[in-house]
Amino acid sequence: MFNFEIVSASKTTKARAGLLQTAHGAVETPVFMPVGTLATVKSLSPEELLDCGTQIILGNTYHLYLRPGCEVIRRFSGLHGFMHWDRPILTDSGGFQVFSLAKLRKINEEGVLFQSHIDGSEHVLTPEKSVEIQISLGSDIIMCLDECIKYPAGRDYTIDALKLTTRWAKRCKKAWENEGENALFGIVQGGMLKDLREISADALVEIGFSGYAIGGLSVGEPKDIMLEMADFTLPRLPDNKPKYVMGVGTPEDLVELVALGADMFDCVIPTRNARNGQMFTKYGTINICNSGFKSDTEPIESGCKCYTCRNYSRAYLRHLYMAKELLAYRLNTIHNIHYYISFMKRMRRAICKGKFDEFRKDFYKKRDV
């Protein structure tokens, strides 16, 4: 069911345009996946996501396992039926949240013991259980459970974590092969150390996955280090497989990572920033609270084709936001998701036309105005 092919490639950079096939339809890459933590991309309906051009969304295994729980979602034959979204879904492994949100973690070879951040209840997440949960969610792309380390981290700890991640990846693959209806991606770890990133990438490629992700980036390190690590790691992953840089990023990050050969992205920035009033435009970001917008009859971005810009002014959006009206969060999120998705689509078109360099230059030029 799962397939990936390169449709076009930039000659001057490593950027590539690809086509992913999943059980729930095709996905054109490079692609941005809005984050739908709790079976909802915060404030949006599935129809609005489609209207923004969304092709695939991300669900968070940790959150969904705790609320509403797999038993509930199984009654709907998975997340698609539960949340009324019939396009592809990628689920993370739960690892990142266990290591960032949950309390009292205890890691051993078997897995992680953790306490729910909601009610303190104890749970064990193992590689096998993570895969099992993701399969029960009906995920189209399953991620291997990995040990996510903090930044900065010492060399020895980083080595131990990546080795455990590798052993867990093997177990994930074994658990997944018994089922096999969905794709399984391995996650490269190794902190900010190139030799460790290489060891991790090689070990995962040796095991063999449907696609590969780079985890452990955008965790607090300087931007140039993030890009350096991605630049080093991406070419070490097989070119005929999709390459996913997890948890990244700003529009600038995306254009640079696409130039380095990344195909897939997810990030809470467009949705979270929308809820904080920060709106993306081709001329940079604006804050909708700005008092200069009080009587501004113009849309957020002139010429933008999103529902919000077609129908509402900055003044109205500022008013809703200042009054904490629920509609504010939705209208802002629609614009930001539309911005991100259109941005990726335009990048892809530029790659296919052999004009990615021009696209990139133009992107930065507009922001300098």
Which stretches of the chain bind a copy of itself, using CB under 8 A? 38-40, 42-45, 67-68, 71-72, 75-76, 82-84, 294-295, 297, 311-313, 315-316, 318-320, 322-323, 325-327, 329-330
Q: Among all residues, which ones are annotated catalytic?
A: 92, 266
CB of 333 to a copy of itself, least distance (A): 9
Residues near 330 by beta carbon (within 8 Å), at least 6 away in sequence? 43, 44, 48
Question: What is the DSSP secondary structure assignment for residue 282, as one 8-state letter?
Answer: T
The three-state secondary structure class of 300 is coil
Q: Is 258 exposed, middle or buried (0-12, 13-18, 19+ CB in 10 A)?
A: buried
Token representation of residue 317: 């959006």
**Could you tell me the smallest distance in angstroms from the CB atom of residue 332 to a copy of itself?**
11
Closest distance of CB 47 from a copy of itself, Å = 9
Nearer to a copy of itself by Cβ, of 240 and 297: the residue is: 297
- Residue closer to a copy of itself by CB (options 108, 297) is 297
**Distance separating alpha carbons of residues 34 and 40, to the nearest angstrom:** 10
CB 189 within 8 A of CB 216: yes
- Number of C-beta neighbours around residue 29 at 10 A: 28
Query: How far apart are CB 106 and a copy of itself at their closest, in Å?
Result: 27
Q: How far is CA 118 from CA 102, 143, 297, 311, in A?
A: 9, 24, 43, 39
